[in-house]
Structure 1
Amino acid sequence: MGRVISVLVPLGIIAFVGVGGVIALSAVKPAPEKAEEARAGLNVFAEPIRRGDLTLVVESQGEVKPRREIIVAPQISGRISYVSPDFIDGGFINRGQLLVRVEAADYELAVVRAQSSVASAEQALAREEAEAELARQDIQDLGITDASPLARREPQLAEARAALESAKAQLKDAQLALDRTAVYAPFAGRVRERNVDIGQVVAVGQSLGQIFANDVVEVAMPLKDAEMGRLGLPLAFSASANNPGPDVTFRATVGGIEREWHGQVVRTAAAVNSQTRQINVIAELQDPYGAGADGDAPMAPGLFVNATIQGETIEDVLIAPRGALRGDDRLFVGLPEEGKLSIRQVDLIYSDPDGAYVSSGVEAGELAITSPIQAPFDGMSITVMQRMEDGTIKIHEPKPTDDASTSDEPAALVSNTGEGVAQ
């Protein structure tokens, strides 16, 4: 028994000291600080809504084509005796410039023969007029009052006059054929292709080449009905001095450089395309190789260009960031003082990559949310953050609702890296 007591007593002392130590440490342990409860709310970025003017634009595209382009063809046949050195692919030509000449010897002989025929007809007419005058005198001297037209030689005189007119017509025809041995350019422009050379025999209507005028080029741009309405263009539009068409900016890459030209809408096509249900709007650029060129880059036929058509200007509209538009008629607006989300129905006028333009539903200065939000609802708790012009991020802290809290702390500013932003 004494041996058991000698073992239990030390164990009891150790247990007492251990329990007493735990109690003592618990008594002197400082109370844990109560952490401030983090405010629930989704962090979202927002941008302010502003007022401004809206210029409606329509994007389209099309191929550049010359307004006038023809196939050069002779009106007579023969052997080519001359070809202008400018009548080559890519050559510049002037109005009235000789392009091609056909050998004229045969046609010169035809003119001589026709002149001879005219002289013979004139001599025959003169002789017939003299004989008709003699016949008239004879009838008068004989006192005949009922002489026939044949006796008065009236049919013979008419025949001689007709023969002279026919000979003169043949002379004109021969002279016209001789004139047509030379083919002239009807306008100033450029040569697209040449299909003839000296010594070649050509027939009437055979293609000698193709040329186009370089004073004006056109671009046909397909537009939808809604786009026509945005531009304020009727289906049967034709520009005039009192009713000019919208301005158009053409863009294309030429020589690895983005080029830009400025033209104007001049008319619409005559009919709607039955397959696409679109209508072509035709824009023109004056002097594409001169004043209308972008530096040394003309808007040459064959280029495929993108076009921006300027529509009407609507003044004093509300402009929100394009990323804030949800669907066609909703904007998410952050209420920074309340820390809440407000879903607004708006009247959308137009939207493009630069913004969403609305007429009502929001106010200038309100913050439109651009961040994506899953399962949004009106009154949802959020923390609105705004990126400032200097790259910093402004966190809009909501005003406290507890009356005991009277401190009015300013919104926090953090760096562009987002450090210090509550997640």
Structure 2
Amino acid sequence: MDKRKIILSLLGVVLIVGAIFGAKAIIDSKEQPKPNIQKTVKTVFVDTVQNSSIAIKIPANGNLVAKDRVELYAEVQGVFRYSSQDFKAGQAYKRGQTLLKIDAAEYEASVQSAKSELYNQITAIMPDLRLDYPEIFPKWQEYLNNLDVNSSIPPLPESANDKERYFISGRGINSAYFNIKNLEQRLVKYRITAPFNGVLTEALVTEGTLIRNGQKLGEFIDPEVYELQVSIGKQYADLLQVGEKVSLTDNSGNKTYEGRVSRINARIDQATQTVNVFIEVAAEGLKEGMYMQANLDARNEENAIEIDRSLVNDRNEIFTVQDSVLKTIEVTPVYFSDRKVVIKGVPDGEVIVTRQVSGAYNGMPVKIAEENNTADTAASSNSNSESKVQ
């Protein structure tokens, strides 16, 4: 009975071991199918290089300011009495018209008093001139006859010799004369006239207002010619020249104006490291304070091309296609704008990639997009398409 159990146990072990080896043999004898590896080749958009003259444009913006503008301030005190037009913002004046006249009756009286005093002083010396200097008496007599206290005082007669000069100065005639001239100059400040044809853009007083010395009265501008002040980087300052034409557009971008560079500041702003450039423009429809966008034609760069700045990597390299493989070449950037870059160093006839390729590397196999499908592909997707090869 014990032998029988032993024999059966041994047979069971043999059968199990045989089954394991048999299964392993069957598994090893089965051929595994080779995996079907798909190779991806990206489609790229290219262009053939043709170097040419590229106009470098520097964008800038700012607000228009009238080229001829005057801030009106009072240099005397008094009541605002008169203006040739209504002294209000938007009122036009012609050159020479009275912008503002301050009551000067009291001051005019003091000027006339000084002239009368000079008249009396000259009258007092006339007898001495007749007796001691008969040769100069006639010209002083003529001057006295023409002296009018209501008119501007005429220049004193010129002294013929030192003797006459000492005599006139000793009687205080010269001092009285120059005192009157000083008073007359100050009397002129009671009347402010328009220095040119223009418009009053700001009026801070009205007729009857008491004006004090140093008070601001308003602003007066010439609405015909304006200047646009823009700031550009110092690295571009040497590219500009006075007199160059500039294209200007308004804030909406619908209207275009032509200006010219009138001045370039010789000093660099230390805080911003920029240079102020002034552009002069004259056209209908312009107003002071308008926001304008300027495109300054800095210069023409010969033997260069312009591409998207995203195509140039941080090592100043771009991708080209040679025998359906990407290759990098080193270029020399000349000017960067917001979206474009002007580069040099690419030979004519070189085929360059015109759109970014994700995951691009040197030696990467690619497929060039066919010309007849380029437009359709670009319209359907801005990313690079892929084709699969079995």
TM-score by shorter chain over 0.5? yes
Q: Tell me how far 1:223 sits from its aligned partner.
A: 2.0
CA distance in structure 2 between the aligned counterparts of 1:277 and 1:320, rounded to whole angstroms:
27
CA distance in structure 2 between the aligned counterparts of 1:76 and 1:127, rounded to whole angstroms:
41
Q: Which residue of 1 aligns with 2:387?
A: 422
Is residue 351 of structure 2 the alignment partner of residue 342 of structure 1?
no
Q: Which amino acid aligns with 1:120?
A: N
Q: Which residue of 2 aligns with 1:378?
A: 362
Q: Which amino acid aligns with 2:47?
A: E
Q: Which amino acid aligns with 1:311?
A: A
Is residue 104 of structure 2 the alignment partner of residue 120 of structure 1?
no
Q: Which residue of 2 aligns with 1:211?
A: 220
Write the deviation string for residues 141-180 of structure 1: whole angstroms up to 9, x where unpaired: xxxxxxxxxxxxx89x826764333443344445444444
Q: 2:265 aligns with which of 238, 254, 269?
A: 269
Q: Which residue of 2 aligns with 1:248?
A: 246
Is residue 309 of structure 2 the alignment partner of residue 309 of structure 1?
no
Write the deviation string for residues 88-147 of structure 1: whole angstroms up to 9, x where unpaired: 21223322121112224324433432332232112111123346479xxxxxxxxxxxxx
CA distance in structure 2 between the aligned counterparts of 1:39 and 1:111, rounded to whole angstroms:
103
Q: Which residue of 2 aligns with 1:283?
A: 279
CA distance in structure 1 between the aligned counterparts of 2:328 and 2:341, rounded to whole angstroms:
16
2:387 is paired with a residue of what secondary structure? coil
CA distance in structure 1 between the aligned counterparts of 2:73 and 2:213, rounded to whole angstroms:
7
Q: Structure 1 residues 189-198 or 79-88, which shifts more?
A: 79-88
| Equivalence map 1:74-85=2 (5 Å) | 74-85=74-85
Q: Which residue of 1 aligns with 2:70?
A: 70
Q: Which residue of 2 aligns with 1:201?
A: 210
Q: Tell me how far 1:55 sits from its aligned partner.
A: 0.5
Q: Which residue of 2 aligns with 1:326?
A: 313
CA distance in structure 2 between the aligned counterparts of 1:208 and 1:226, rounded to whole angstroms:
42
Is residue 41–residue 367 contact of structure 2 (8 Å, CA) maintained in 1? yes
Q: Which residue of 1 aligns with 2:345?
A: 360
| Structure 2: runs of 5+ lacking an equivalent | 1-35, 135-162
Q: Which residue of 1 aligns with 2:95?
A: 95
Q: Which residue of 2 aligns with 1:28?
A: none
The alpha-carbon distance between structure 1 residues 163 and 53, as it changes in their structure 2 partners (threshold 3 A), is same
More helix by share: 2
Is residue 326–residue 332 contact of structure 1 (8 Å, CA) maintained in 2? no
Q: Structure 1 residues 164-173 or 58-67, which shifts more?
A: 164-173
The alpha-carbon distance between structure 1 residues 274 and 133, as it changes in their structure 2 partners (threshold 3 A), is closer
Q: TM-score, normalised by structure 1?
A: 0.65
Q: Which amino acid aligns with 2:196?
A: F
CA distance in structure 2 between the aligned counterparts of 1:191 and 1:283, rounded to whole angstroms:
23
Q: TM-score, normalised by structure 2?
A: 0.69
Q: Which amino acid aligns with 2:334?
A: I
The alpha-carbon distance between structure 1 residues 75 and 343, as it changes in their structure 2 partners (threshold 3 A), is closer
Is residue 179 of structure 2 the alignment partner of residue 183 of structure 1?
no
The alpha-carbon distance between structure 1 residues 383 and 194, as it changes in their structure 2 partners (threshold 3 A), is same
Is residue 168–residue 174 contact of structure 2 (8 Å, CA) maintained in 1? no
Sequence identity (%): 18
2:207 is paired with a residue of what secondary structure? coil
Is residue 328–residue 348 contact of structure 1 (8 Å, CA) maintained in 2? no
The alpha-carbon distance between structure 1 residues 389 and 94, as it changes in their structure 2 partners (threshold 3 A), is farther
The alpha-carbon distance between structure 1 residues 127 and 121, as it changes in their structure 2 partners (threshold 3 A), is same
CA distance in structure 2 between the aligned counterparts of 1:301 and 1:196, rounded to whole angstroms:
22
1:129 is paired with a residue of what secondary structure? helix
The alpha-carbon distance between structure 1 residues 252 and 320, as it changes in their structure 2 partners (threshold 3 A), is closer
2:362 is paired with a residue of what secondary structure? coil
CA distance in structure 1 between the aligned counterparts of 2:356 and 2:217, rounded to whole angstroms:
65
CA distance in structure 1 between the aligned counterparts of 2:278 and 2:129, rounded to whole angstroms:
64
Q: Which residue of 2 aligns with 1:14?
A: none
The alpha-carbon distance between structure 1 residues 262 and 388, as it changes in their structure 2 partners (threshold 3 A), is farther
The alpha-carbon distance between structure 1 residues 205 and 162, as it changes in their structure 2 partners (threshold 3 A), is farther
The alpha-carbon distance between structure 1 residues 385 and 102, as it changes in their structure 2 partners (threshold 3 A), is same
1:110 is paired with a residue of what secondary structure? helix
CA distance in structure 1 between the aligned counterparts of 2:71 and 2:364, rounded to whole angstroms:
71
2:128 is paired with a residue of what secondary structure? helix
CA distance in structure 2 between the aligned counterparts of 1:391 and 1:364, rounded to whole angstroms:
22
Q: Tell me how far 1:74 sits from its aligned partner.
A: 3.5
CA distance in structure 2 between the aligned counterparts of 1:383 and 1:390, rounded to whole angstroms:
12
Write the deviation string for residues 63-104 of structure 1: whole angstroms up to 9, x where unpaired: 322334332233433222113435321223322121112224
Which has the higher relative contact order, 1 or 2, with Cα contacts under 8 A spaced 6 or more apart?
A: 2
Q: Which residue of 1 aligns with 2:256?
A: 260
1:301 is paired with a residue of what secondary structure? coil
Is residue 86–residue 92 contact of structure 1 (8 Å, CA) maintained in 2? no
1:326 is paired with a residue of what secondary structure? coil
Q: Which amino acid aligns with 1:249?
A: S
Is residue 72–residue 218 contact of structure 2 (8 Å, CA) maintained in 1? yes
CA distance in structure 2 between the aligned counterparts of 1:52 and 1:103, rounded to whole angstroms:
70
Q: Which residue of 2 aligns with 1:109?
A: 109
CA distance in structure 2 between the aligned counterparts of 1:77 and 1:62, rounded to whole angstroms:
38
Q: Which amino acid aligns with 2:272?
A: T
Is residue 318–residue 352 contact of structure 2 (8 Å, CA) maintained in 1? no
Q: Which amino acid aligns with 1:218?
A: E
CA distance in structure 2 between the aligned counterparts of 1:100 and 1:189, rounded to whole angstroms:
14
Is residue 41–residue 386 contact of structure 2 (8 Å, CA) maintained in 1? no
Q: Which residue of 2 aligns with 1:26?
A: none
Is residue 46–residue 371 contact of structure 1 (8 Å, CA) maintained in 2? no
CA distance in structure 1 between the aligned counterparts of 2:181 and 2:354, rounded to whole angstroms:
83
Q: Which residue of 1 aligns with 2:61?
A: 61
1:128 is paired with a residue of what secondary structure? helix
Aligned pair count reads: 322
